[in-house]
Amino acid sequence: MPLQNSNFELVSGLEIHVQLNTNTKIFSADSAAFGASPNQNISTVSLALPGALPKLNKEVVAKAVRIGLALNCTINQINHFDRKNYFYADLPKGYQITQDNQPICVNGFLEVELSDGSTKKIGINRIHLEEDAGKSIHDQDDQYSLVDLNRAGVPLIEIVTEPDIRSAEEASALLSEIRKLVRHLNVSDGNMEEGSLRCDANISIRPAGTTEFGTRCEVKNLNSMRNVRRAMDFEFGRQVEVISNGGKIIQSTLNFDAEQGTTSPMRTKEEANDYRYFSDPDLQPIHISDSWLAEIKSAMPALPNEISKKMIAEFGISKADAALFAEDLALLTYFNVALPLVNTKKSLINWLIGPVRAILNEKGIAIDAYNVKPTQLATAINLVDDKKITQQIAIQQLLPAIETKADANVADLAQALNLLITDNGDELGTFIDEVLNKYPQQVEAYKKGKKGVLGLFVGDVMKLAKGKADAKKLNELILEKLK
């Protein structure tokens, strides 16, 4: 019988590079910002001029510890940097400063949720600190390659998983969970398009039901969730075919061609670099004191999954709605400021996931850029819940008015703009009479049992009242008159 895909199991471990969002680089005061014009963010250290010495950015260590704690790692309170030696134009020192055998975090795990609702625990082997390299640009000049060193020295952490991944779905669930966490912990912007999050996928296969690992290939530099899945699917198929045809997998490093969706060899193990790691004599070992570690721990925010569980339990909302808050720190902060000010908690949730979200989507902004402050939104919601203003007018007129008047007192503004519900029964009564007189036939029809025309009356009276009437009350008044 010929061998088929289902006779094999995929085995994979990821090496995930996360660019940290510190202001300055890992070993110098050069800006670590993305998007400056070429070679703007460089000084002696980034250029590796002779005698320039690295000085560790403490914030980098704190951020690595935060992510390590979130990934259930043991923090190595004493760890050190090593030199990884290789020659490349965008690496002026001739070595990358990284961590080899004594990384900052080890032995963690992360639980991810799969589409069938099951969870999968994936081991984290280690997290190490390192610096990014510069960028070589080959397509801007016919004769020369250009070098931009802005990225040289930007802080990275590399998260290395155990070979626990068994499908492309598990890999992308893991990546998206890590992206969520680094954003939540303000460790990185997690932006895959800009390269702040990228990964190498180690892939092997083995006969289903066996426990020994096969020979792995490493696909380099996958820069989108989709490409991770495509590369894994392709590589799985390729390896199955090689083995089914009686061939052998050669341990190698592969490129992924995003256009073709295929992998191709970069180098085999025999051609692999010998990096000659040794500890960097220019940098002292890092010593994370007990008290600093305790300080970082106590400043850790609740993690997305904890927030989500809490919101479901407390407010009885759906998992999907809870995720909106758990995965958007700005929204959660806004929510927490407004919460003590609203009369009905559930209303606040409904507003934030309903109308406010729609407004933000339309504007294409996040909630921290919204010109209605949480205190102001809370007042607007209370006005609606107290039937002082209709929801429609609040959304269409009051909120836009607040936006243009930064510090407006919301209740005063609603009053000044004449948006409040007219609870003047006499005035409504006049409007109702007017409308009922306009439609004698329909009134007749209503009395004969055609109750559907009521909507027509309500709509017309509402128009005369310029929308400023409580619909329920209006209904009652009209029914009264029709008796």
Cα 121 → chain centroid: 20
Contacts with ligand ADP by CB under 6 A: the residue count is 15
* Selected binder of ligand ADP within 67, 71, 124, 160 (CB under 6 A): 160
230 is an interface residue for ligand ADP by CB under 6 A = no
For residue 40, the surrounding DSSP H or E stretch is: none
12 is an interface residue for ligand ADP by CB under 6 A = yes
* Selected binder of ligand ADP within 11, 112, 159, 178 (CB under 6 A): 11
Nearer to ligand ADP by C-beta: 205 or 462?
Answer: 205
321 is an interface residue for ligand ADP by CB under 6 A = no
162 is an interface residue for ligand ADP by CB under 6 A = yes
90 is an interface residue for ligand ADP by CB under 6 A = no
96 is an interface residue for ligand ADP by CB under 6 A = no
99 is an interface residue for ligand ADP by CB under 6 A = no
135: helix, coil or strand?
strand
* Selected binder of ligand ADP within 38, 52, 107, 163 (CB under 6 A): 163
* Contacts (CB under 6 A) with ligand ADP, residues 415-474: none
Least gap, CB of 220 to ligand ADP (angstroms)? 12
Least gap, CB of 198 to ligand ADP (angstroms)? 14
Residue pair 432/424 in contact (Cβ under 8 Å)? The answer is no
Least gap, CB of 291 to ligand ADP (angstroms)? 32
155 is an interface residue for ligand ADP by CB under 6 A = no
Task: Quickly count helices (H) and strands (E) in the chain.
Answer: 18, 16
Nearer to ligand ADP by C-beta: 28 or 202?
Answer: 202
Residues 6+ away with beta carbon under 8 Å from 42: 30, 149, 150, 152
Nearer to ligand ADP by C-beta: 15 or 257?
Answer: 15
Nearer to ligand ADP by C-beta: 214 or 374?
Answer: 214
Residue pair 158/60 in contact (Cβ under 8 Å)? The answer is no
Nearer to ligand ADP by C-beta: 177 or 328?
Answer: 177
86 is an interface residue for ligand ADP by CB under 6 A = no
As a whole number of angstroms, the distance between CA 108 and CA 350 comes to 37
Least gap, CB of 308 to ligand ADP (angstroms)? 28
Which DSSP string do the residues of 412-448 spell out, in sequence order? HHHHHTT-S----HHHHHHHHHHHHHH-HHHHHHHHT
* Contacts (CB under 6 A) with ligand ADP, residues 337-366: none
103 is an interface residue for ligand ADP by CB under 6 A = no
216 is an interface residue for ligand ADP by CB under 6 A = yes
Cα 23 → chain centroid: 20
Distances (CA, A) of 31 to 25, 54, 147, 150: 6, 15, 17, 8
Residue pair 125/106 in contact (Cβ under 8 Å)? The answer is yes
Largest CA distance in the chain: 98
239 is an interface residue for ligand ADP by CB under 6 A = no
Contacts for 433-439: CB closer than 8 Å, 24+ residues apart: 433/481, 434/464, 435/460, 435/461, 435/464, 436/478, 436/481, 436/482
Amino acid, single-letter form, for residue 6: S
Residue 245: Cβ-neighbour burial (10 angstroms; 0-12, 13-18, 19+)? exposed
Residues 6+ away with beta carbon under 8 Å from 192: 179, 198, 223, 224, 225
> Nearest-CB residue to ligand ADP?
13
Residues 6+ away with beta carbon under 8 Å from 289: 77
Mark the segment that binds ligand ADP (CB under 6 A) among 156-164, 238-246, 393-401, 416-424: 156-164
Span between the terminal Cα atoms of the chain, in Å: 83
* Selected binder of ligand ADP within 8, 13, 17, 421 (CB under 6 A): 13
15 is an interface residue for ligand ADP by CB under 6 A = yes
243 is an interface residue for ligand ADP by CB under 6 A = no
- CA torsion sign for 350, 119, 192, 68 is positive
* Contacts (CB under 6 A) with ligand ADP, residues 172-211: 202-204
* Selected binder of ligand ADP within 86, 88, 213, 278 (CB under 6 A): 213
Binding site for ligand ADP (CB under 6 A): 11-15, 160-163, 202-204, 213-214, 216
